[in-house]
Structure 1
């Protein structure tokens, strides 16, 4: 992310919110406190930033509601993706060996340019 030409503060905030949501509203992988996986990728053709977070809960209850919520005080975590003109999606995460669903991947795409509304 350090070499991404976009708004680093926006990217850090969105990554933080996605990881926080995974721990607050989903199950982490592993025993005890567990873990979630965070991946950051700069897409070569567009320079958009792909932020992915994996957790062990295979569904995303109320995805539409969570992603369209209006800001409050404080704003809901996923609202920040929309604020920074990004897009949010999710897909089931499958085991590469067995094909079994083992969780989900929540994905945010952030453009390199952002202009506050």
Structure 2
């Protein structure tokens, strides 16, 4: 036992030089303080995805042959697609609206392509509300008497676009442009919401 006033001599006897191998912790600490790591990786911070940039949980698009059967065909396909997507809203209402929009494009606009041609139909489930957006494209860039078609009260059998308002939906339209900003037609949109009872 060494007295408190004396220090224990290093191994190998008094005055012997210290062996660096006996102090790996000290040696490592010195290396970290004096040397830099040879590889440096930049840290890149990515912004969080904004809520309004969220992707819709379901999207679908098709082309329908422009015939008398285009509307009923759209109705059948939309019913099937919304069932597959497990949409909690009124599938019968949404499929009927799709039928009316496609039939309206067939009767009052003109189809894409030559000959019989086609009409384009798209479905999107909105990411925030889960409302279904139904879009129909045709090559005619005008929509004559749009206000009258969407606000007039029906006399007798209701016109096709009346059904959008009947199901508490919103109807709108805009010109359609290609990649070089040339007007190539129009898009008619119907947004059908999920009512409070359906959401429950």
- TM beyond 0.5: yes
In the other structure, the counterpart of 2:40 is none
Q: Report which of the two has the higher share of helix.
A: 2
Q: Report which of the two has the higher share of strand.
A: 1
Counterparts of 1:69 and 1:114, CA distance in 2: 26
In the other structure, the counterpart of 1:11 is 94
Counterparts of 1:114 and 1:85, CA distance in 2: 12
5+ residue gaps, structure 1, are none
Find 1:93's aligned residue among 176, 193, 200. Answer: 176
5+ residue gaps, structure 2, are 1-81
Q: Name which structure has the greater RCO, CA cutoff 8 Å, separation 6+.
A: 1
Structure index of larger Rg: 2
The ranges of structure 1 where at least 4 consecutive aligned residues each deviate by more than 2 angstroms after the TM superposition are: none
Alpha carbons 1:85, 1:114 under 8 Å: kept: no
Q: Deviations over 1:61-116 (max 9, x none)?
A: 100011112123321000000000000000000012x211000000000011178x
Alignment RMSD = 1.3
Find 2:111's aligned residue among 22, 28, 45. Answer: 28
* Alignment length (residue pairs): 114
TM-score normalised over the length of structure 2: 0.55
SS at match of 1:39: strand
Distance 1:72 1:114, change over 3 A: farther
